[in-house]
């Protein structure tokens, strides 16, 4: 019972604070950290000293998997260059910049330990950044870059941290082995994730029930992580690639009722996990900064210098790449000045950095100082950048209206789907030579796609009513299938975004599920009519 109590309090607190965040206008991740810090000072609040392995192996995989499933491979492929520059280049540049600054301030710290700190604080946690960006109306390509960065940068930093920890134990970094290990961690994870994604795609198609498919979905991120780590590849990157493969195949793999159940389940999981990881930052802060082995003398100066390095190096790297692109006549990272500024300031760090810092071996030189610097970077970026990012986005007056673009894509997709349905209906009318009355009904069904009143129209249909009911059911499913194919094709060609596809697909899934229920009602209504007629005939 005592072990369960902190978990219950944590989840209840996350629900309450998330509700307050919408009312006070503060981004939920920021408010969760602030409330967590305040709660850590209250006597009687349970201690939340979470094992970092739990965060890295239990909390991180499902969060990354859920984000990857909802991400668009098409959009990521289009923005692959800026995503790679941030998720790989930015992480490496930040890590080594932090290492140089730390080693210059305290030469006694081994360079491998300094690189370890750099790897820890290098990856931004884009959960907060993406939430703020979406709400503030940041253009969709910029949001795609931030989402892509958040999917891949954790893998880069954790692999680099693994290499640095080996260097700490050996006394120096073995650059040759480090490069080989880094290359296999990335390439192996991509290969394993792609194969595992395809295998799980076939498995969930054969699952046979909604509950079985949803259960398989819940265990997938942990399975992918374990397989990747057991092959000495990046388990985090394996989870991301597996999620991307399953996400792009979801429209053809899963029936509507499975997608609805699976989507609702993962929305609840993400809601709890995302809120919990930010709350844990604040709740663990007091125990870390008051630890007896925290060094006092160089702490303030060092932590401030590391925080400044982390904040400054991001815009320097981004604008340097943009300048080089213009110099050589190539397309820049994200385009114009405004989006570059927004992405440069979206560098908030999160719980991954905190968990990674706590995995440092206990004999790491200046370990307490490294933990303190990590806390300073997390809080500094969340408070300074997180609270000012919405205002910055408004001041930039970025062109384009994401909401209007979404409405335009949705309208275009529905128009193209209706044209495809109308073409198919006219083709069926010609080939099957339907009478004018039935052709008129078919066109009306295609236009309205509404099952209301179907049983009333079938009451007088005669002895072949059930056959016609089965035919109508088949037609309705075919029409919905045509719409879904059109939407997926438009997504694959880049004419609509993944978000628009999911909105339209959700509507179709609801419609198709209701269709099956209404057809069951219509079938039952016909059975009652048939039984009543037989009873009258018998009399």
pLDDT along the chain (539 residues), means of 10: 73 88 77 84 72 79 87 83 90 94 91 92 77 69 84 87 82 72 87 94 86 92 94 90 91 84 89 83 70 60 93 93 79 72 86 80 83 87 83 77 71 78 77 72 62 41 48 64 81 80 81 64 48 52
Find the largest Cα–Cα distance for the chain.
104
Please tell me the distance from the alpha carbon of residue 229 to that of residue 241, in angstroms, as a whole number. Answer: 14
Please tell me the distance from the alpha carbon of residue 59 to that of residue 262, in angstroms, as a whole number. Answer: 18
The pair of structure tokens assigned to 250 is 């979801």
CB atoms closer than 10 angstroms to residue 171: 8
The pair of structure tokens assigned to 383 is 């408070």
The pair of structure tokens assigned to 434 is 């339907």
- Per-residue burial over 279-308, b if 16 or more Cβ lie within 10 Å, else e, is bbbbbbbbebeeeeeeeeeebeebbebbbe
Under 8 Å CB-to-CB from 509, ≥6 apart: which residues? Answer: 256, 257, 259, 260
Q: What is the DSSP string of 25-68?
A: T--HHHHHHHHHHHHHTSTTPPP----HHHIIIIIHHHHHHHHH
Q: Check: CB of residue 113 under 8 Å from CB of residue 172.
A: no
Q: Check: CB of residue 238 under 8 Å from CB of residue 189.
A: yes
- Per-residue burial over 317-334, b if 16 or more Cβ lie within 10 Å, else e, is bbbebbeeeeeeeeebbb
Number of H helices, E strands in the chain: 24, 0
Res 358: pLDDT: 77
Q: Check: CB of residue 96 under 8 Å from CB of residue 173.
A: no
DSSP code at position 515: H
Res 226: pLDDT: 94
Whose CA is closest to 499, among 133, 60, 75, 128? 75
Please tell me the distance from the alpha carbon of residue 280 to that of residue 275, in angstroms, as a whole number. Answer: 9
Domains of the chain: 4-37+50-400 (1.20.1530.20), 404-538 (no CATH)
CB atoms closer than 10 angstroms to residue 315: 15
Cα–Cα distances in angstroms (integers) from residue 36 to residues 20, 279, 284, 527, in the given order: 14, 5, 8, 60
Q: Check: CB of residue 142 under 8 Å from CB of residue 342.
A: yes
Under 8 Å CB-to-CB from 493, ≥6 apart: which residues? Answer: 74
- Sequence-distant contacts of 99-104: CB under 8 A, at least 24 apart: 101/305, 101/306, 101/309, 102/302, 102/305, 102/306, 102/373
Cα–Cα distances in angstroms (integers) from residue 314 to residues 17, 118, 265, 321, 370, in the given order: 30, 13, 36, 11, 21
The pair of structure tokens assigned to 34 is 């602030």
SS3 400: coil
Res 231: pLDDT: 92
The pair of structure tokens assigned to 262 is 């699976």
Please tell me the distance from the alpha carbon of residue 200 to that of residue 207, in angstroms, as a whole number. Answer: 10
The pair of structure tokens assigned to 212 is 């079985």
Crossing angle of the two packed helices 256-289 and 351-358, in degrees rounded to 10: 60
pLDDT tens per residue, range 470-490: 555 566 667 777 778 888 888
Res 296: pLDDT: 52
Under 8 Å CB-to-CB from 490, ≥6 apart: which residues? Answer: 412, 413, 416, 496, 501
| Residue in the block written with tokens 């692109």 | 325
Q: Check: CB of residue 146 under 8 Å from CB of residue 133.
A: yes
| Tally of CA atoms within 13 A in the half-sphere of 471 that contains its CB | 10
Please tell me the distance from the alpha carbon of residue 84 to that of residue 145, in angstroms, as a whole number. Answer: 9
Q: Check: CB of residue 13 under 8 Å from CB of residue 3.
A: no
Res 403: pLDDT: 66
Rg (CA), the chain: 28
Q: Check: CB of residue 180 under 8 Å from CB of residue 233.
A: no
The pTM score is 0.78
Please tell me the distance from the alpha carbon of residue 216 to that of residue 85, in angstroms, as a whole number. Answer: 34
Instruction: Let me know if 389 is exposed, middle or buried by CB neighbors in 10 A (0-12, 13-18, 19+).
Output: buried
The pair of structure tokens assigned to 482 is 């045509």
Please say whether the dihedral angle defined by the alpha carbons of residues 357, 362, 363 and 365, taken in this order, is positive or negative.
positive
pLDDT tens per residue, range 369-399: 888 898 889 888 888 888 888 888 888 877 6
């Amino acid at each position: 019972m005592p072990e369960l109590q902190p978990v219950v309090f944590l989840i209840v607190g996350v629900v309450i604070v998330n509700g307050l965040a919408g009312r006070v206008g503060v981004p939920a991740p920021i408010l969760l950290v602030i409330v967590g810090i305040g709660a850590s000072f209250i006597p009687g609040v349970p201690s939340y000293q979470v094992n970092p392995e739990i965060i890295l192996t239990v909390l991180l995989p499902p969060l990354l998997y859920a984000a990857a499933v909802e991400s668009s491979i098409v959009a990521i492929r289009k923005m692959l260059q800026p995503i790679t520059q941030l998720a790989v280049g930015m992480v490496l540049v930040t890590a080594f910049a932090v290492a140089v600054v730390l080693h210059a301030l305290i030469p006694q710290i081994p360079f491998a330990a300094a690189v370890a700190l750099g790897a820890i604080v290098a990856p931004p946690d884009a959960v907060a950044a993406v939430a703020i960006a979406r709400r503030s109306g940041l253009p969709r390509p910029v949001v795609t870059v931030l989402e892509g960065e958040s999917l891949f940068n954790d893998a880069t930093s954790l692999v680099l941290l693994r290499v640095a920890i080996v260097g700490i134990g050996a006394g120096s970094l073995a650059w040759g082995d480090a490069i080989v290990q880094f290359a296999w961690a990335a390439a192996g994870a991509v290969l394993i994730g792609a194969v595992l994604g395809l295998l799980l795609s076939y498995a969930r198609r054969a699952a046979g029930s909604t509950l079985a498919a949803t259960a398989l979905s819940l265990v997938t991120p942990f399975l992918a992580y374990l397989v990747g780590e057991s092959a000495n590849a990046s388990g985090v990157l394996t989870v991301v690639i597996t999620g991307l493969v399953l996400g792009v195949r979801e429209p053809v793999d899963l029936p509507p009722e499975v997608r609805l159940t699976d989507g609702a389940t993962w929305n609840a999981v993400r809601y709890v996990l995302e809120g919990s990881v930010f709350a844990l930052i604040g709740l663990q802060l007091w125990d870390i900064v008051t630890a007896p082995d925290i060094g006092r003398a160089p702490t303030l100066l060092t932590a401030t210098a590391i925080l400044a390095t982390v904040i400054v190096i991001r815009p320097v790297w981004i604008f340097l790449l943009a300048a080089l692109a213009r110099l050589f006549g190539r397309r820049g990272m994200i385009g114009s000045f405004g989006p570059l500024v927004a992405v440069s300031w979206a560098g908030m760090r999160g719980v991954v950095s905190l968990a990674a810092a706590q995995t440092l071996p206990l004999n790491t030189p200046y370990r307490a100082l490294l933990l303190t610097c990590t806390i300073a970077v997390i809080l500094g970026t969340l408070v300074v950048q997180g609270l000012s990012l919405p205002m910055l986005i408004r001041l930039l007056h970025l062109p384009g209206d994401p909401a209007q673009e979404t409405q335009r894509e949705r309208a275009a997709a529905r128009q193209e789907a209706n044209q495809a349905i109308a073409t198919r209906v006219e083709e069926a009318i010609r080939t099957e030579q339907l009478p004018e009355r039935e052709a008129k009904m078919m066109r009306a069904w295609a236009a309205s796609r509404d099952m209301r009143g179907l049983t009333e129209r079938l009451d007088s249909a005669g002895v072949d009513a059930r056959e016609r009911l089965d035919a109508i059911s088949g037609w309705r499913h075919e029409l919905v299938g045509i719409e879904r194919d059109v939407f997926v094709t438009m997504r694959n060609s880049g004419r609509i975004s993944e978000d628009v596809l999911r909105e339209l697909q959700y509507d179709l899934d609801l419609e198709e599920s209701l269709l099956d229920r209404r057809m069951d009602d219509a079938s039952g209504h016909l059975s009652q009519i048939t039984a009543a007629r037989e009873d009258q005939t018998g009399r």
